[in-house]
Structures are given as structure tokens and as C-alpha cells.
Amino acid sequence: MNSIKKKLSIVIISFLIQITLFNTFSYSQDKLLITNPRVEYKTNPIGIDELKPRFSWEIISDKKNILQTKFEIVFSNDENNFDSQQKSWEIIKESDQSIHVEYEGPELQSRQRVYWKVRVWDNHDRISDWSEVSFWEMGLLNSGDWKAEFVQANITEDIKKSQPAQYFRKEFETAKKIKNARLYITSHGLYEAYINGEKVGDQVFTPGWTSYNKRLQYQTYDITNMIKDQNAIGVILGDGWYRGYLAWNDNRNVYGEKLAVLAQIEIEYSDGSKSIVNTDETWEATNNGPIIKSDIYMGEKYDARKELTGWNTFGYDESWEKTSVKYFDKNNLVASEGPAVRKIQEVNPVKIIPKDNGKYIFDMGQNMVGRIRLNVKGESGRIITLRHAEVLDKYGNFYTENLRVAKQEINYTLKSNEIETYEPYFTFQGFRYVEVSNFPGEPNLESITGIVIHSDMTPTGNFSCSDPLINQLQSNIQWGLKGNFLDVPTDCPQRDERLGWTGDAQVFAPTACFNVDAAMFYTKWLKDLSADQDSTGKVGDVIPNILNNGGGHTGWADAAIVVPWTVYQKYGDVRILQNQYESMKEWIGYMENRAGNDFLWDNDWHYGDWLSFDASSASYMGAYTETDLIATAYFSYSSNLVSKISKILGKQNEAEYYAELSKNINKAFLNEFVTNSGRLVSNTQTAYTLALAFNLLPEDVAQKAVKYLAQNVERFKHITTGFLGTPLISKTLTENGRIDLAYMLLTRKNYPSWLYPVTMGATTIWERWDGMKPDSTFQDKGMNSFNHYAYGAIGDWLYSTVAGIKMDESDPGYKSIIINPNPGGDLTFAEASYNSMYGKIKTHWQLKDNSMELNITVPPNTTAYVLFDSEKNIILDGNEVTQSMLEKYEGNNSRIKIGSGSYKFVYNITK
């Protein structure tokens, strides 16, 4: 009997398992889900000031060929009430649009929080479940919403040098149950805010760097859970970009001489009443704290013996100085728009190198940007010094000459004989090596930790292949991006510069957008570009523009057009074109005025093809390609882009005007710089690359120019381009039938090449092709950064050509995807993934004998076109592709259209 019961139990259990598996399988085969709902690229943002916010989402489905056919978004002021009676409004449309759906509801008000959710219909007659409930919250939309005023400490200072940090505080009480509380805050200088002893938020280097006198960001924090019956708010201010050292020649106080803070706490109680605590003359201040000085370039000096215990808590009774109210204009206050700067990751040292002088050099194993957290135990009064460097010299000595006057030095004075942990406040360094002096005893690998700091952009891309050196190159590109995307796209993170150079930014933008979600990072920065553009249309060399009378240089100022165009292409973002359109036209107008009636821009100095290889003298500084040629080429290219942009924005007259302008510039370029045989007056790789990449030549002349370019590459057997030619040469060679030469340039290991720094141990991209020479000596110490992302622009080619993930310019944002991998060199496989606005795109190819296996993932609500150079023997998911499935595409090529899902192709290739 027991045996029968046991067998019966097994049968029942087996049956139940099959039912469960059936239900699970049925569900997984038929699910249609919404994920990653965003408002203005962000998840549940608070404190925004966009009056027409846009909504985006991604679709998940196990079916192939999924297209959205309809969507419904419902909005409510109450997250628990979305039924037909309680919802505030809705958007219902028969549309495949799932990104940048614009808000159409009632006018939004300051402080308003709106909840929303979305569902979609697909082309298989399915309706998704509602997405999770999301929200956004408006900031203070009008200057009149600010009841607070800026306050300054009544402290005498020597503004000619770095000053101690300033501490501000205010106590307040609440006597009712709190519903919610917000802190709106900004400063002249950098701030950190505390409530009841706890740091507010996890951002650093707030309020960020903008053109402060025109656009000063404020941050909004939800502090509901931080408020008690008795409270204290404390704020620390450091010099930062506002009045610290900036650029060269002991340049300080660029935006002002005095630090100030503007803070407004708004509390809403459960009974509906409200109260405000804001900066006014009742706040107190001191500069007699532990931060003796703090500067972005120079570093920080901290005396732990002077710590102000309890200064940011209620009941602190030390006597501080009074503050003064300063009535600064608040019309320049804007909500934070770019991604917040945060501590992103930690790096542990890999080695300690003891030196004879009692100093220790820590090798972090990675050139990084951020700062060091120190863990130490020693007697009170001992001063420990940390210095930071990117490289060691050929003898293993600490090398800092390339920092110029930037000290990158931390001094920490111990307070006790207990374990102390310290991390700087208002400074960051670019470094791989840390020299520690006067450490008590012998340090170990746990004595310091590297804190990586940069704008918190969502990683979106990865690339790898069969060549480990190229994989290291990809890593170097990503680390170079991290190190130079700290609120603005800087040139370098270590020397006395760290400025938002426009030329570097525009050449690297396509690569940046593959590796991270950079849309809002660039959106914020471009608004400062427009704000700093002068009345003639001239664009600064650096943004924010702190270099007086600088700017107007070809390839640099064109960031005004190239960067928003790149963001539009990568993210399908039309609004950035709308926002920057007037700025674009003004820059074109500036070039028109400089060029005159002959359409040749040939009368101004330019950086040219910066740091190119000068074959005649092996000197980097010469603009070897004639700068008039480069300037005229960019004049045409940017004019043509503005023509395209005008058409996209429905401005037909302007589109025709700029198209005609570009056409006339092309004619002038051809007459001035091109011989009848198709040879350019500057017989350089950059000259031919720009002429071909910008479509400046008639077809017959272009074919001749391709031959000259190829001959030049074959003659040198290496790259000779600088900042402007390098991002385009590989693409240009590929598109003109010489991908073999593009691969030769990529895989070359000797100087000059992308892989040469890798063979020399680089972990980031260098400023120069030979920042460190083959004999391990260094290039010119006056300009030799080892973390400079411009040459990392090759990353765009790795993703788009080697891995084969390309966008369709006619259907931007990867709504329509072109898959066209191009094997070459000695690579046996390559793969890449890219998290687009619609979801993950992925390719992986591998060579097997004379065939290639290609695996592709296409996200829902998109379409992909897979390109082939042959129509024979193409196998798709085990089945032969018929001629009816293929269509002709550009000459002898063919393509097949596929919808969302995962696919495996196998086909013959010709080596």
C-alpha cells in the first residue's frame, strides 16, 4: 500500500510540475512588458525645470518582430489613484513612438510632483501590463519662488591664494508631523550640505560647473526622513571653480572673490501647513575648521585636530561669526540638468614601492581620476603628505613635471593615536601613483583606497575582440572618458588646465555616446556653450569659457553643431537641435563673415590638426595640414549639417540657404586646394580624410583622392593625423574600399599608433602619440597628459565597423539599425553591445575557415538591416536565405531586413 501511495504521489507531483512548467513556458512565450521608464533620460527625477518633459520606455518580449502600435500614458497627482475618476490626464496615441513622447497636460507648476505609468499595444494584438508607477517633480520655476537670499561669511580673507573652507549653520525646530521636506540649494563655490550631522545626498562637486554668471545650477534634495523635532543644517563651502585656481598664470577668482550659499528648506506638514527655513542674516559662519585650504588644482590641507565636533547638529554652542545677506540676481538659477557627479567606484592599490628616503609609492594599477581615502593610525600632529602622478620615470622615480604648477598634493594632520579615516572634500586628482610621505610605520595595501569620481552616466556599451591589446585600448578609452567627464568634458584631469575644450569634445562625442548615456551631459554643457557665445557668433575654445578673447577656431567651435547633431543621431533627440539651432546659425554666420565673398576661410589662425605627426621635422606642434584647408573644409561640413538640421526642424528656407552655402564653399575648396589630378595642396592623411569624409569632392576627383590617401598611408605605414584627422581616417578608408589599411593602422604596435601606448603600459589614452618615448623618456613636459581622450575617438569605429553596429541617419536613435561587421587584420572574433534608447543591440561574429558566424540581438520596436557583400550561402537560424528575402543595397551588396529578437547568421566571406 505504501508503495502504491508513493508511486501515486510521484505521478501527482510530476503532473503538477508539468502544469507549472507549461504555465511558465506559456507566459514567457507571450509576455509583453514595459521597463526602464524615464523622464528626460532620468528615473524619477526631482527638481527639474523642463516645462514639456519627455517620456521614454523600453519593451520586453519573448516574441520576435515586435513593434509598438499604440501607447497610453496616464498621469496623476496621487500615486494611488489612476482610475478614470482620479487620473489627471492621459495621452493615448496610435504610434510606434516609445522615446521622447512629449508632455501634453496642464501647465506644470513649481514643486509639483506628477505620477505616471504607461502601457502599449503591439503588432501581435497584445496589450502589455501597466509599467511600474514612476514620477517626476518640478523644481522652483520662478525667481519669486526663492524666499532665501545668498549669504556670505563676515570673514577677512586673502583672495590672492587658497583660503580655508567656510562653514555655515542654522538651527530650527518643527512641532508637527511632517509629510515631506525639500532642500533647494546652490552656492558660489562648491558646497556640501548636512542636516543633523548627516550629509545630504550622495553628490559631490555641487553645484557643478557652469557659466556661473549666466547659469548657476541648484540642486533639489528630498530630506523628509532627515528632519526631526530639533534640527540643524550645516553647509561647507570650498573655492572650487568659482574662485579657485583656474587655467594658467595663477589665475584665480574668475567668477567672484567671495563664497556664498543660497539654501531654502521647505517643509509640508500632514495638516497641510507649511514652513520655510532659508539663508538669511540669522545664519552663522566660520572658517576656523579643519580644511585649511582646498583647491581643485593644488589639492587640500586638512588638520584633523581642528575638527568641529557637532557643528552640524542641534545644540552646538560655539560662537561663530555673523553672515551678511547679498542680493544676487536669481534669474540665472537653473535646475540641475546633467548627470550628478558621484563617487562611482573604489580602486585598491596593487603594489607598494618603498623608496630610500622613507617614502612609499603606491601603484593603483590604473590611471584614474578622483581622490584617495587614507586609513592611518599615528601620533597627534604628524603630517602625512600624499602626492599624485600619472607615471614613473624610466628609473622608477615619481614624475610630476607634466603637472606644471598643479600640485595635486594632500596634507593630513593626525588628531589622535586612534585609527583615522580621511578623504578630501573639494579637490580631485588625476593619477595612477601615490607617493606617501611621513607615514607612521610601514603602510600596507589597505592604507589607501582610490575613489573614482565622475558624472554618473549610465554605461551603455562594451566592445571586445580576439586581440588583447585592442581590448586594453577599449578599456583605456572608457577610463579616459571616466576621467574627463566630471561635469564638463575636459581635456585632461591632472595639470593646471582641466578645461572643457570644444575640439576634444566634438571629436570624441560619437565614441562617448557608444560607451555611456551622454545625452543630458552634453545637453547641459551645450547650454553653457550657447550662453558663452559672443555677439559675433564666436564660440569659445573652452566651455565654460574662462579664456578671455579665446575662440572662433575651426574644428573646435564646430562643437556647436557637431555635438548636438551627434546627440540627435544617437538618441533621436530633436529637442537638442531645437535648443541649439540659433547657436548653430550664429556660428555659421561668424564663419561667413570671416570667409567673405570667396567662401574661403583663409585669414585666421587655428589649432589645425593639433598634435599631428609632422613628417618633415618629427615635431608635433606644427599644424602640418594647411589650416586654411581645414577651416574651409569644416565651414562646408558644418553648413551642410545645419542644412540637414533645418530640414528636420521644418525650416525649408534655411535648409536651402545652408545647402547652397555648403555647395559654394565646396566649389571654392576645389578651386583653391585641389589640383586637376585630385591631389590636395596639403598632401597629408588629414587633408584627404577631411575632403573625403565631408564629401567635398566630385566623384571622379574623390576616386583619385582615395588613391592619394592610400598611397600616403602605405608610404608611412602608420598614422600621421592629429586631433581632427584621427577620428575620421579609419572610417574614411573603410568607406572607400581600403579597410585593410584601416586595420593596419589599428593593429600597428610601434610608434605612432593606438596600440603603442598600450605596449608601454598605458591604462588611459595619451595626449600625444609618444607621451612616453620608446626609451621611456617623456615628451615635452609643458604639454604631456597621460589621460586625454581625443585619440580615443577610434572607439566609434570599433563599435560601428569592427562590431558592425551602425545607426541609420534617416531614422535616428537606432530606431532603424544597420548591422555590418567587417572582419580584418588577424581578428578571429569581435563582439559589442549597446544599450540604445530602445534596449540592447548586440553583435558577435566569429570566423571559422572561410565562413563567418554572426549572432545578433535586436531590441523590440526597432528594425535592423543586415548587410552582406554576397548573396550566396547565407544561413539564417539554420535555414537558407532565399533571394526573395534579400534586396540590393549600394552596388553589389545586399541586405536582409529583420525585426526584434535574436538571430544567427552563417555565411561565406571573402578575405
Buried b (16+ CB within 10 A) or exposed e, 745-768: bbbbeebbbbbbbbebebbbbbbb
In the set 192, 497, 586, 626, the catalytic residue is 497
d(C-alpha 194, C-alpha 662), whole Å: 55
Query: Would you say the C-alpha torsion 379, 380, 381, 383 has a positive or negative sign?
Result: positive
Give, in order, the Cα–Cα distances in Å from 242 to each of 251, 256, 707. 11, 7, 52
Of 515, 511, 678, 655, the closest CA to residue 585 belongs to 655
- Residue labelled with grid coordinates 562590431: 803
Q: Which residues of 556-581 are buried (b: 16+ CB within 10 A; e: fewer)?
A: bbbbbbbbbbbbbbbbbbbbbbeebb
Determine how β-strand 419-422 pairs with β-strand 321-326.
Answer: unpaired
Neighbours of 397 (CB within 10 A): 12
d(CA 395, CA 392): 8
Amino acid making up residue 95: S
CA angle 364-365-367, nearest 5°?
80
Rounded to the nearest 5°, which phi and psi values hold at 176? -130, 170
Q: Nine-digit cell at 725?
A: 584627422
Tell me if residue 506 falls in helix, strand or coil.
helix
Contact 669, 644 (CB under 8 A): no
C-alpha 71/C-alpha 30 separation (Å) is: 18
SS3 630: helix
Query: CB under 8 Å to 4, separation ≥6 — which residues?
Result: none
Residue 764 DSSP code: S
Strand bridging mode 113-122 / 32-39: unpaired
Nearest one of 58, 35, 63 to 124, comparing CA atoms: 63
**Distance (Å, whole) CA 361 – CA 731:** 42
Cell 514639456, located at residue: 52
Residues 6+ apart with CB under 8 A from 472: 758, 763
- Our answer to whether residue 660 is catalytic in this structure is no
Integer Cα distance of 792 and 813 in angstroms: 22
- Catalytic, 767? Answer yes
Grid cell locating 707: 588613391
Count helices and strands (H / E) in the chain. Answer: 15, 46
- Which residues, 6+ apart, have CB-to-CB distance to 94 below 8 Å? 69, 70
Beta bridge partners of 886: 896
Catalytic option among 40, 50, 767, 831: 767
Contact 206, 219 (CB under 8 A): yes
Catalytic positions, written as ranges: 497, 767
